[in-house]
Copies of this chain bind each other. A is one copy, B any other.
Amino acid sequence: MLKTMSEPDKKEITPEEAPENGTRITNIGNTSKTVNGKTKDDFDLAAVYLSDAQYNRNIFFDTTPQAIRLYLLYNHWGLQILVYAFIIVDLALAIFEDPAVVPLPIWVTSVIELVCLAAFTARLVHYAKVIPRERFWKDPKNICIFVIILLSLVDMIIYGALKATGFYAVRWSRVLRPLLLVNITEGRQLRRAFRSIRNALPQILYVFLLFMFSVLMFSLMALKLFGKRDLKTTEGRPYFTNYLEIVFDLYVLVTTANSPDVMMPAYNFSVFFAVFFIIYILINTYIFMSVFLAVVYNNYKKYLKEEVRLLVRAKRHKMVRAFGVLQERKGEEEPVVSQACWNQLVRLVQPDISNAHRELLWSVSDDNNKGCIGKVAFVQLADLLNIQVIMMKSRPHPLQTWLPSLYLSSPSRLVCRMVQHRAFVYTYDLIILVNAVFIGLDEDDPLIANVEWAFLVLYLLEILLKLYSFEPRAFFSRHQFWNWFDTIIVITALIAMIINSALKLSGGYTSRQILDIVFILRILRLIRVVDSIKRFRAIINTLIKIGPTILTFGQLIVVVYYIFAMVGMELFKGKIRFSRLTPLIQIRHSVETPCSKTQHSSTQLLQEQL
């Protein structure tokens, strides 16, 4: 953690706090349109390069002032969220379309889909205005989105027409919907993951083929060993006589799902045949599956490293361009960027950055205090801006300002020292553990229900004491995850319990839903114990940090699942019906089959041992 410096910079152009938006920047420092001979357009261009480097965007945009303004708008977080919202709505439509979980009339879903498609088209047109025309049509992403929109429209028209005339129709274009998630400009991470997987596939394929070869060889061996022995499975069917069935059975055996069952007829015939299955599991389940994992891990890592290397190079390239826009040359010396230009640029890119934070970044870049920085120092700016700086302002407690005599009195000081003592944390950990025991007991007992109120009061007291001894703004600062967690849970639990009690008192009736919420909140409160143990906190923090990566993979899984779900829905829709009694019994029988196999073979085994 870096603490910001407190000494003010003498060369600061403006005494104002950081400006809120781009329009005010042009008037800063009374230089009207230029700073050190650079126009607002120059700064806009440099700022775009810088923020592209900062967020790893690789878009080849037009450098005309108008295109840059459009590009800035294109990258606005509001529009990006809007695009994702439309994609989610578009994907969620499957819930309301035929065959639907919640059926809606066909015109409603069609209108919503049309709105979504219009939004995607608008976004695409916007993008087309930002980048040069010939680049636009060379990019497969754009063509992909264009084709998806077009095919969806065609499909909607065909489907509508067929439905209106009473024909059978399939909404086949729904399969394409998740591809939008991959092809929009914001889907960079997802594309990178897909690319790494695609590049790793050949290596994985070879191990997979070798694994399949091994399964086929073992199946052939099983056919030859067991096929002629006239063995019967527990249902009386011939055992291991059909090659394809053996391959399927042994393939399932790799997952150990049918582990003892598949072996039992052979085992009952001779104990030594178990050796065949043990060797099979050793080779295929243990060795090949482990090699599979190792190959996937190694190759994915290798190609992802390659992607990161390319990213770093692109980032450097963009920063060099930004430097080229803002550089000043003084005679024969190396070109430099002055602090005034630098300040202007940083304020454009991050309007909410504090003066102290900006000064800190400058002092890191300009470590010799020359008032200007060269190319090497400038290029680091994108990374510097990405470093999270936590500001620790040691402000006095508000009570100290309002009631200094009371707050600084010795009993008040004692309270503060107590709260800040380790024993305070341990005491509350103990309270949480006792609470856990009480939660486990029967809550219908009125005594235990009342004890819950006592715990709630204790938790409220803890928050109030902490607010008393720590500065409230520091306590509720952005990075204090557990404080926020605690407070929200305790307050929500308080509200839910009050509502519950009010309901109980008024009508003698308890809402099960509210009780559920109360119970869940009570148990969530116990999680806090994790924060007291340093090692646990480290693991949790690591998990939170890899969250965004997991989210990317979540999207990847959504894409794959959605496509399979759509295809499966259209394939199996209406194929399985349970209108008569006979098929039900058949299905019941087939569900029973794998289990009864185990059970019969086990009993056979037992009977043999008698």
Contacts and interface: CB of A to CB of B under 8 A. Distances in A.
A269 to B, nearest CB: 11
B606 A224 contact: no
Contacts of A584: 603, 606-607
Contacts of A514: none
Interface of A: 206-207, 209-210, 213, 217, 220-221, 223-225, 243, 287, 291, 436, 439-440, 443, 516, 519-520, 522-523, 526-527, 529-530, 535-536, 539-540, 543, 550, 578-579, 584, 587-588, 591-592, 594-596, 598-599, 602-603, 606-607, 609-610
B606 A599 contact: no
A440 B243 contact: yes
B599 A591 contact: yes
18 contacts: A206-B535, A207-B539, A210-B530, A217-B523, A217-B526, A217-B527, A220-B436, A223-B440, A224-B516, A225-B519, A287-B543, A291-B539, A578-B606, A578-B607, A588-B603, A591-B602, A591-B603, A595-B596
Contacts of A225: 516, 519-520
Contacts of A526: 217, 220
Contacts of A536: 206, 209-210, 213
A603 to B, nearest CB: 6
Nearest to A209: B536
A227 to B, nearest CB: 9
A540 B207 CA distance: 10
Contact of A220 (B523, B529, B598): B523
A595 B588 contact: no
A77 to B, nearest CB: 28
Contact of A588 (B206, B439, B599, B610): B599
A57 B326 CA distance: 65
A291 B550 CA distance: 12
Given A217-B526, A519-B224, A595 B599 contact: yes
Contacts of A610: 578-579
A80 B599 CA distance: 47
B599 A206 contact: no
A210 B592 contact: no
A554 to B, nearest CB: 10
A271 to B, nearest CB: 10
B291 A439 contact: no
A106 B120 CA distance: 84
Nearest to A243: B440
A315 B11 CA distance: 62
Contacts of A539: 206-207, 210, 291
A148 to B, nearest CB: 29
A221 B515 CA distance: 12
A523 B224 contact: yes
Residue of A206, A443, A591 with most partner-chain B CB within 10 A: A591
Contacts of A529: 213
Contacts of A523: 217, 220-221, 224
